[in-house]
Structure 1
Amino acid sequence: MFKGKKVLMAAVCMWLTAGTALAFSRPVTIAEQGSFMAGGTVITAPGTYDGTKPADHAGETLHGDHAYVFYQKPVHAHRYAMVFLHGYGQSAKTWETTADGRDGFQNIFLEKGYATYLVDQPRRGRAGRATVPGEITAQPDDQAWFNMFRFGQWPNYYDNAAFPRDAASMDQFFHAMTPDTGKFDEGIVADAMAAVFAASGDGVLVTHSAGGGPGWATAMKSDKVRGVIALEPGTFPFPEGEVPAAEPTTSPFPAVGKAVPLQEFMKLTKIPIVVYFGDNIPTAPTENWGADNWRVRVNLARKWAAAVNAHGGDAAVVMLPELGIKGSTHFMMSDLNNTEVADAMEAWMREKGLAK
């Protein structure tokens, strides 16, 4: 239904101005690629449309709150596609070429033989048409995000931070951030993501950060989600009556669980789920709010996984340093060791029968 024109093309390695690395470490033959909008809604202004009165919008419609999707399918693709949902302040760019010009997860997993679907969530990026008004501010905040994303404490990087440290790469990273065009609504994002899976077919959902919340909702809404890989999600659903108290933190963003009906929660117990966290996350409270923010989220993640498994599910929380992957920031898909992270993800998918 949403298929683009089929093409056969060899991906060409290209030098990128942000760095000296190559995008596409080896050629990939693409069997099909395209883009489409998924989900969304239509609202209609009161009255009757009159084409002779262009300034009067009576009876006119507005299409919005949809997702934008760009997809590529390599020749002889694995059975399950990989559907990628970005986090806060981001778009599908999160998964594309890294800030210093290396393969991002889009290319890495194409090279591994997976069809990839990259999503701009509703009211963000190329899916910016919202059905509610919004305000876009111009508040300088780069340094706060630098701390929050665990590159370090501005202007200093953590000693082992695996993110590229040259000024051009950081410039590329900050320019990739993009605002909401309307209020964030988890339900609207989940509805659109369910529509994405209706088009992509069965697949593995990969979420990042604030994409984790609507990602859980998507997995509870669509039976085409066959597994979830969540990269440092911000929140977790618990059965009603089982939500743990929020843990004190020096971060202005507390880690809070969300109550959902047990019947909905149980849907998460039917699929394998893994949650990955990176490096430089403290185990004791700290005044470094950017790091403490992730300490409490790791603790919440472990309580959530225990709840899933207590109800018969298969959920794991994995700390990348314990796998020998050191220095990962909040943007592990962009770090210098992102191929190691991708290899760990694929090893998990193979273990769970999702890499057929």
Structure 2
Amino acid sequence: MRLRGLFFALFSVSFLGALGATANPSTSKQAARRRAAENVGTLHRRSYFYVGGVYDVLGQNGSALSSEQTYVEHLLPQNIKQRYPIVIIPGYGMTGTNFLNTPDGRRGWADYFLEKGYELFILDQPSRGRSPWQPGIDGTLFTFDSLTIEERFTAAQKYDLWPEARLHTQWPGEGVRGDKIFDNFYRSIVPSLLSNTDSSQKTTDAAAALLDEIGPAVILTHSQSGMYSWPIADVRPTLVKAIITLEPNGPPFINAVFPPFTADRPYGLSEIPLQFSPPIQSAADLQPVVVSSTTNFTCMDQSSPPRKLVNLLKIPVLFITSESGYHSVYDRCSVSFLKNAGVNVDHANLGEVGIRGNGHMMFMEKNNIDIADKVIHKWLKERF
């Protein structure tokens, strides 16, 4: 379990939100140093550890390699003020560094939550980043190219690939290759497992191992990692006290917006099995049916009467959708699937609560602190 009474003989003064400043005399570097001086960050203690991992024997001599171990960054504020820590699991192509500060040097969500007194545990998904990928053991890797990042995340308004894309205004900078802020962000994108099924199982196992070690916690997920929310809660229902998910992978059962529109997430919003009541023998027992269909998006759900996600019934969920991201096309369908399965979901559509112009990378956009403060922290304080 966590040690709440750690002796603070040595604090790390966090420069979250101001990393990267150097002694280079150029104007941009001087500006970065000024931002660093203005934003020292929240006093905290930093440490790291690993959870999970297995030894893969190499041969008859008994030597082995370790795989599937998962890096966990532990950030402990000087004064813990909140009942439960937050476990942060980044989405596809990302590591825990993306939650430390923004690409343009502002405060990230880690610093905000530390200021509010939350203890944080930030993961790098297995086989990614500081959680080593082992050649010959782990699966095929894939990396997003720069154009995909521009089209879907940082400059969606320039490409207009879905109706709401034109509303995107909150990314700092131009959001295209050659812009310094974009370049800084794109350089942080790392190779990730191509198989969502493998990633789902490995990360679920890692998160379960972490919860077994630290005790009850709130899970915060984004995009790809959002679909891990459900199996993590399913296998540790007494330790997951709440789920906050930012535009989790969806919609149910089938891909949307970007072709090909192939079947996916056979358990609704999960690649791997979940416990339903009445029980199912296979994913086919859910008998998905079409609820509605429009251009580039088909909403599907279980056949009636819907089975319940029995282990998630008592876990509150905050499901956040940006005003302009491609999830604005279909997140209501994902929320409907969860509600029909008995899950207690609050859907925060940012545009409808007055937080305008955000896209899929809302946690690093210009108004990122507004989202953390007015939506997430507020929701948590109402419950704990």
Give the TM-score range, shorter chain.
Answer: 0.7 to 0.9
1:55-74 aligned at under 5 Å gives the runs: 59-74=62-77
One-letter identity of the residue aligned with 2:226: G
- Contact 1:11–1:24 (Cα < 8 Å) also in 2: no
Quick one: structure 1 residues 26 and 158, their matched pair in 2 at CA, closer, same or farther if it must change by over 3 Å? farther
Aligned to 1:179: 191
Quick one: structure 1 residues 142 and 37, their matched pair in 2 at CA, closer, same or farther if it must change by over 3 Å? same
Answering whether residue 346 of structure 2 is matched by residue 346 of structure 1, we say no
Quick one: structure 1 residues 301 and 181, their matched pair in 2 at CA, closer, same or farther if it must change by over 3 Å? closer
One-letter identity of the residue aligned with 2:243: V
Quick one: structure 1 residues 228 and 248, their matched pair in 2 at CA, closer, same or farther if it must change by over 3 Å? closer
Q: Distance in 1 between matches of 2:38 and 2:140?
A: 38
Find the partner of 2:126 among 122, 132, 143. 122
Aligned to 1:320: 350
Find the partner of 2:52 among 39, 50, 62. 39
* 1:248, distance to aligned residue in structure 2 (A): 5.9
- Contact 2:87–2:123 (Cα < 8 Å) also in 1: yes
* 1:262, distance to aligned residue in structure 2 (A): 0.8
Aligned to 2:281: none
- When structure 1 is superposed on structure 2, of 332-341 and 264-273 the one drifting more is 264-273
Aligned residues: 320
Q: Distance in 1 between matches of 2:144 and 2:113?
A: 34
- When structure 1 is superposed on structure 2, of 223-232 and 161-170 the one drifting more is 161-170
* 1:335, distance to aligned residue in structure 2 (A): 0.5
1:1-356 aligned at under 5 Å gives the runs: 7-9=9-11, 11=13, 14=18, 16-17=20-21, 20=32, 21-22=35-36, 25=39, 27-30=41-44, 32-47=45-60, 49=61, 59-77=62-80, 78-130=82-134, 132-136=137-141, 141-149=145-153, 151-154=155-158, 158=166, 160-166=168-174, 167-180=179-192, 183-184=195-196, 185=198, 186-222=200-236, 223-235=238-250, 246=254, 249-252=257-260, 256-259=264-267, 260-263=274-277, 265-281=309-325, 291=326, 294-308=327-341, 311=342, 313-343=343-373, 344-353=375-384
What's the Cα RMSD here?
3.0
Q: Distance in 1 between matches of 2:223 and 2:155?
A: 15
Quick one: structure 1 residues 225 and 261, their matched pair in 2 at CA, closer, same or farther if it must change by over 3 Å? closer
- Contact 1:36–1:68 (Cα < 8 Å) also in 2: yes
* CA displacement, residues 82-132 of structure 1 (integer Å, 9 cap, x when unaligned): 110011111112211100001111111011111111100101100023472
* 1:215, distance to aligned residue in structure 2 (A): 2.2
* 1:191, distance to aligned residue in structure 2 (A): 0.4
* 1:133, distance to aligned residue in structure 2 (A): 4.3
Q: Distance in 2 between matches of 1:276 and 1:23?
A: 33
- Contact 1:150–1:280 (Cα < 8 Å) also in 2: no
SS of residue paired to 1:270: coil
Identity of aligned residues (%): 26
One-letter identity of the residue aligned with 2:224: A
Quick one: structure 1 residues 23 and 193, their matched pair in 2 at CA, closer, same or farther if it must change by over 3 Å? farther
Q: Distance in 2 between matches of 1:175 and 1:279?
A: 26
Point out 4+ residue stretches in structure 1 off by more than 6 angstroms.
Answer: 1-5
The unaligned stretches of length 5 or more in structure 1 are 50-58, 237-243, 282-290
Tell me the TM-score normalised to structure 1 length. Answer: 0.80
Q: Distance in 2 between matches of 1:73 and 1:140?
A: 32
* 1:182, distance to aligned residue in structure 2 (A): 7.3
SS of residue paired to 1:333: helix
Quick one: structure 1 residues 125 and 326, their matched pair in 2 at CA, closer, same or farther if it must change by over 3 Å? same
Q: Distance in 1 between matches of 2:337 and 2:356?
A: 25
Tell me the TM-score normalised to structure 2 length. Answer: 0.74
- When structure 1 is superposed on structure 2, of 108-117 and 141-150 the one drifting more is 141-150
- Contact 1:278–1:328 (Cα < 8 Å) also in 2: yes
SS of residue paired to 1:144: helix
